[in-house]
Structure 1
Amino acid sequence: MGKLRVVLADDHAVVREGLKALIDAQPDLEVVGEAADGETACRKAEELRPDVLVMDVSMPRMSGVEATERLRQSRPELRILALTLHEDKGHLRRMLQAGASGYILKLATGEELLRALRVVAAGAAYLDPLLAGKLAGELVRDGQGAEGTRRSPLTDREGQVLLQVARGFSNKEIAAQLDISVKTVETHKLRAMEKLGLRGRADVVQHALREGWLASD
């Protein structure tokens, strides 16, 4: 099997250089192109036909969100991994809605980035564990009423898992994102759903929308 082809899109040359050195050192990955803005990223993706495009969210000329939306139309099979400093729900939601396959923070380690690349290249979705933990914390806080009288019964890990279920990820994808087993995901999901009186994924999504878990900042 040939190497996975990667294009890097980031407006900071030093970031691209570091990513290229990290990726090219792997036996199964290679960087085949670079871009400093969204427009160039789209052109490189069309010309070079990479398997994965690592996309900065904030770039000149065309943002990562706009470039992702365009590429989902022209190259729907392309896997796009958002790499960003933005930790808020708003940017996360916009990138995923635009068609990104994964979202990882620039605070991540090189090992985590390589894992994210391989996960999205394999057809699964990826969410940075630090971001998942932050969103789960917000989820638990959002379980409190206006006077602080209503608290979420969920543990942090149950909140992490249920949030990902609400976002549409499978048990296998959630396990990969949180670095836990599929069986552990199933256990946390069942416990969370029992605590909240939810019977299926549709109930989880409706509950998430009602509680505002998925609302943008």
Structure 2
Amino acid sequence: MVGESGSAALRIVIVDDHPLFRAGLRAALESAGDIAVVAEVETAAAVPAAVAEHRPDLVVMDLNLPDGSGLEATRAIIADSPSVPVLVLTMSDDDGSLLAAMRAGAGGYLVKGAARDEVLHAVRTVAAGGAVFGAQTVPRLTALLAGGGRRGAERVFPELTDRECEVLDLLARGMDNRRIARRLFLAEKTVRNHITHIFEKLHVGTRAEAVARARDVGLGADPPPEH
């Protein structure tokens, strides 16, 4: 496939479950003349097969897919096809999604609504092996990476109280309720109440889901703090 300049066009796979958005993005990309959309995918489950079949130069990935998270799809691409970079293009503008996408291996992160020229620049840069996180995103990303443990949890999960952040951090470190209670000098019933509130605020249904959300943003990587 050759672009208007005579050089090979960048081959792009779009992963997004909104047909109108995909159509608009395809039109914007292909209007540049040096980019070709070789496949459109609606679900996380269909991503590996599309990447294996088309061997694209870049995957443009939404995070919110009907059958799962674009984060998992991104990890699968990085694991199975490490030469294929991923640019996240999503509605999510929160610190947690940004940090999780970076940790999953995405080479770029843009919020839907970005200008056409910004999207084209990001596509070309990430496809070439560079990184694009947007002018407003870089300072946030730097601050997030500088933070750790409970402090990091406070930034990426602002809906949680300080104590809930402490509990979530210890959950991500693999501690059970009894150990968390002893660590924080709380009753086990109080810990259970905090965990219930964490589930409600993070919209998760199980301990494993809460731990996964926490580890997505880097919690649980260090040994438990000592008192």
TM range (shorter): 0.5 to 0.7
Asked if 1:117 corresponds to 2:123, the answer is yes
| Structure with max Cα Rg | 2
Aligned to 1:25: 31
Paired residues for 1:66-77 under 5 Å: 66-77=72-83
TM-score (norm 1): 0.63
Pairing partner for 1:49 from 44, 50, 55: 55
Paired residues for 1:86-165 under 5 Å: 86-132=92-138, 135=140, 163=142
Aligned to 2:22: 16
Deviation at 1:130, TM superposition (A): 3.3
**C-alpha contact 1:81 1:100 (8 A) present in aligned 2:** yes
**C-alpha contact 2:59 2:86 (8 A) present in aligned 1:** yes
**C-alpha contact 2:78 2:85 (8 A) present in aligned 1:** no
Pairing partner for 1:34 from 36, 40, 47: 40
CA offset digits 1:153-210 (Å, max 9, x no partner): xxxxxxxxxx28x85xxxxxxxxxxxxxxxxxxxxxxxxxxxxxxxxxxxxx5xx448
1:31–1:211 CA distance, 2 compared to 1 (3 A) = same
**Residue-pair matches, total:** 150
Uncovered stretches (5+) of structure 2, i.e. residues with no partner:
1-6, 158-227
Deviation at 1:38, TM superposition (A): 1.0
RMSD: 2.2
CA offset digits 1:48-105 (Å, max 9, x no partner): 1000000000001131011011111110111100001111111111111111111000
Uncovered stretches (5+) of structure 1, i.e. residues with no partner:
137-162, 168-204
Deviation at 1:107, TM superposition (A): 2.0
TM-score (norm 2): 0.61
**Percent of residue pairs bearing the same amino acid type:** 33
